[in-house]
Amino acid sequence: MLQPLTVRPARSAGESRIERTLSYADAIREAADQEMARDPSVIVFGLDVDDPKAIQGTTRGLLDTYGPERVFGTPLSEDAMTGAAVGMALAGLRPIHVHIRMDFLLLAMNQLVNVAAKTRYMYSGQVHLPLVIRAMIGKSWGQGAQHSQGLHSFFMHVPGLKVVAPATPFDAKGCLAAAVRDDDPVLYVEHRLLHFQQGPVPEAPYAVRPGKARVTAAGEDITVVGISWMQVECLRARHYLAEIGIRAEVIDPVWLSPLDLNTIAESVEKTGRLLVVDTAWTCCGASAEIVAAVGERLQGIRDLKLKRLGFAPTTCPTTPSLEELFYPNARTIAAAARNLVEDADTGWMPEERPELQEVAFRGPF
């Protein structure tokens, strides 16, 4: 009999009893609210953050509580507004700049890469840049070519930017608080489907600080690293693998930069097999970086089997028949894991179990 599936954070001893359940979207909203209450220099802006839909509810109520100087919708000017966010941060504010699609960050690359990432270094630490960029990755219901990209590896590539991709409501709250309190620019990656996830979230403020991964399920046979939404799919895949006697250890990196290589490498040293699944393309991606870093660390120490999974090497199509093939899912992840464990192309694909399917989102947006 299967247990109900909730992606739970590995808890420390002091947090073993969290009674309250919150959605990922509400966890983001609560973190922003608490940080704004704690620190009057925190402000939130971006396209539509103050409109009735309030960015899937993640900014709901903030305008009423903190007023239009601290919460405002912006002109459709991603480049200048990112530059303005940099200027605000230089002046001591702590802006949270919200992008309802990560694809829109491409309009702001100059300010993010040439300015935000470089500012502390090229001014030799004389200034701080406490800037948070929230960016959403879309998926399903025909989001298509320009509403679905996972571009986080672009930002991992650049020194001076931190990148976090929380997968649970607990981490959604704690990582946003940590990002706001950080004195350097942080890209906060949210997958649209994660907004619906429910999970335990303490009411009191807390921070999940940069640089620590979580082992979300223990196992001996293979290490499976799932990034952002793929963490959910990996935990589902673990159920398929359990049916055939394969015990997968699942890891959520949480912070992609700085990356907790130690936790991942320790696991791989035990299992000898690593499968990294990203909600992005594999080429030059987060999965490539993790596989390469583990390989460098463990070569000569341990025989290794390594594999990456991610988007098909195509543009994201809108039709469901092709979109389904574009993404890894619990079954394709399980199949890849089994092949790695058995070191053979087994041709196995688990029978789909309805309770392990995605049902949370039906569009339109």
Entry field: residues in the chain: 365
Contact between 16 and other proteins per CB under 8 A: no
Name the helix (H) or strand (E) containing 44.
strand 42-46
Contact between 124 and other proteins per CB under 8 A: yes
Residue choice 262, 314, 315, 357 for contact with other proteins (CB under 8 A): 262
Spatial separation of the C-alpha atoms in residues 85 and 96, rounded to whole Å:
8
Stretch that binds other proteins, among 22-30, 72-80, 133-141, 238-246 (CB under 8 A): 72-80
78 annotated active-site: yes
Contact between 258 and other proteins per CB under 8 A: yes
**Comparing C-alpha atoms, which of 158, 159, 103 is closest to residue 135?**
103
Contact between 88 and other proteins per CB under 8 A: yes
Contact between 86 and other proteins per CB under 8 A: yes
Site size for other proteins (CB under 8 A): 59
Least distance between other proteins and beta carbon 103 (Å): 17
**Comparing C-alpha atoms, which of 208, 238, 233 is closest to residue 328?**
233
Least distance between other proteins and beta carbon 296 (Å): 8
Contact between 208 and other proteins per CB under 8 A: yes
For residue 202, what are the β-bridge partners? none
Contact between 204 and other proteins per CB under 8 A: no
Q: Which of 78, 233, 289, 323 is catalytic?
A: 78
Q: Which of 147, 152, 191, 239 is catalytic?
A: 147
324 annotated active-site: no
Instruction: Extract the tokens encoding 133.
Output: 């960029």
Spatial separation of the C-alpha atoms in residues 85 and 91, rounded to whole Å:
10
> CA 3 from chain center: how many Å?
25
**Closer Cβ to other proteins, 110 or 315, answer by number:** 110
Name the helix (H) or strand (E) containing 259.
none
Least distance between other proteins and beta carbon 234 (Å): 21
| Contacts of 310 by beta carbon, 8 Å cutoff, 6+ apart | 277, 278, 279, 280, 281, 282, 285, 287, 328
- Phi/psi at 96 (nearest 5 deg)? -115, 110
DSSP state of 127: S
Instruction: Extract the tokens encoding 27.
Output: 């966890």
Query: Is the CA virtual torsion 256, 287, 315, 156 positive or negative?
Result: positive
Stretch that binds other proteins, among 90-98, 140-148, 224-232, 273-281 (CB under 8 A): 90-98
Residue choice 153, 263, 271, 329 for contact with other proteins (CB under 8 A): 263
CA-CA distances (angstroms) from residue 67 to 30, 64, 133?
17, 6, 20
**Comparing C-alpha atoms, which of 179, 213, 248, 243 is closest to residue 28?**
179
Stretch that binds other proteins, among 188-196, 201-209, 309-317, 349-357 (CB under 8 A): 201-209
Contact between 127 and other proteins per CB under 8 A: yes
Interface mask toward other proteins for 269-308; x: CB under 8 A: --------------------x---x---------------
Please give the residue ranges that form the binding site for other proteins (CB under 8 A): 12, 43, 69, 74-75, 77, 79-93, 95, 110-111, 114-115, 119-128, 159-160, 162, 174, 182-184, 206-212, 257-263, 289, 293
